[in-house]
């Protein structure tokens, strides 16, 4: 399988059952359930986020190993600012904590870090850590680890529409040339393939303003497992479920 050379652990049983033919190119994950994980253990919510960060590392490595090309992780939504300040401050420290520990490993594993969302509104320390990781990994050609941070899909679409209108007014784009490909290309994910598989953990079944345009033909996989408990085996289970689906993109199966 692609990227296998960066890993040394024995294969999991679940991994062995994945077909190399049809690995999702882009997996997007709504990482949910950190708070409930902590509550079950009578721990503060931030302990759940901290554990969730460890899961990010595990799942990044596994996705890379099985040959996934893009992994988009919903780490902080534009709505998450409504949470208590202590929790927001903690969540804003996680990218730098994660990257200060794991950036060398990501570089070694040829992972390229990217981000979607409004970087300007992030605290300076968070922005600096993310920008540094993006720069240090810009030349890497393996898995794209795309953090959705301060991300909201409706706001992304509004900005895309505004940019298209400006370009039409400036004569750079004819209004009849505004197609769905044009809109896709003006989104923050314009350079990436659309997700093939969306996973949401913790038993919730909604999109929460995540990649609304990009998920039009994506296969959804919902699991009751809380994000801190989400293991490599769970990822492989989701990929295997995806491989059994018949994707028709609005047409008929062949």
- Choice from 15, 26, 27, 34 touching ligand FPP (CB under 6 A): 34
* Sites for ligand FPP among residues 116-155 (CB under 6 A): 147
Q: How far is residue 240's CA from residue 224's CA, in Å, rounded to a whole number?
A: 17
Q: Which of 50, 64, 80, 146 is catalytic?
A: 80
How many residues form the binding site for ligand FPP (CB under 6 A)?
Answer: 19
Which residue, 52 or 117, is less far from ligand FPP as judged by CB? Answer: 52
The verdict on whether 3 is a catalytic residue reads no
Residue 36 lies near ligand FPP (rule: CB under 6 A): yes
Distance of closest approach, residue 87 Cβ to ligand FPP, in angstroms: 8
**40 contacts: CB under 8 Å, gap ≥ 6:** none
What's the alpha-carbon Rg for the chain, to the nearest Å?
19
Selected from 32, 196, 219, 237, the binder of ligand FPP by CB under 6 A is: 32
Q: Does 33 bind ligand FPP (CB under 6 A)?
A: yes
For ligand FPP, the closer of residues 74 and 186 by Cβ is 74
User: Residues 95, 113: contact at Cβ < 8 Å?
Assistant: no
d(CA 239, CA 18): 7
Q: Which residues bind ligand FPP (CB under 6 A)?
A: 31-36, 49, 52-53, 56, 75, 80, 91, 94-95, 98, 147, 202, 227
Active-site residue set: 32, 80
């Amino acid at each position: 399988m692609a990227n296998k050379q960066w890993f040394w652990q024995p294969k999991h049983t679940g991994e062995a059952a994945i077909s190399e033919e049809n690995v999702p190119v882009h997996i997007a994950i709504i990482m949910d359930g950190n708070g409930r994980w902590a509550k079950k253990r009578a721990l503060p919510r931030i302990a759940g986020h901290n554990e969730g960060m460890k899961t990010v590392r595990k799942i990044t490595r596994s996705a890379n190993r099985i040959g996934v090309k893009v992994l988009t992780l919903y780490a902080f939504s534009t709505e998450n600012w409504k949470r208590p300040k202590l929790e927001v401050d903690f969540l804003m420290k996680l990218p730098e904590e994660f990257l200060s520990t794991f950036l060398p490993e990501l570089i070694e594993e040829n992972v390229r870090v990217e981000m979607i969302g409004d970087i300007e509104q992030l605290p300076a320390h968070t922005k600096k850590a993310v920008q540094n990781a993006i720069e240090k990994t810009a030349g890497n050609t393996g898995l794209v680890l795309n953090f959705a941070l301060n991300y909201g899909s409706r706001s992304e679409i509004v900005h895309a529409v505004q940019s298209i209108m400006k370009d039409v007014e400036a004569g750079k784009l004819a209004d009849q040339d505004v197609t769905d490909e044009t809109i896709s290309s003006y989104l923050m994910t314009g350079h990436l393939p659309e997700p093939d598989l969306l996973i949401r953990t913790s038993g919730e079944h909604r999109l929460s303003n995540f990649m609304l345009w990009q998920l039009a033909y994506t296969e959804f996989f919902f699991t009751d497992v809380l994000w801190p408990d989400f293991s490599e085996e769970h990822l492989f289970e989701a990929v295997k479920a995806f491989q059994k689906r018949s994707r028709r993109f609005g047409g008929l199966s062949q």
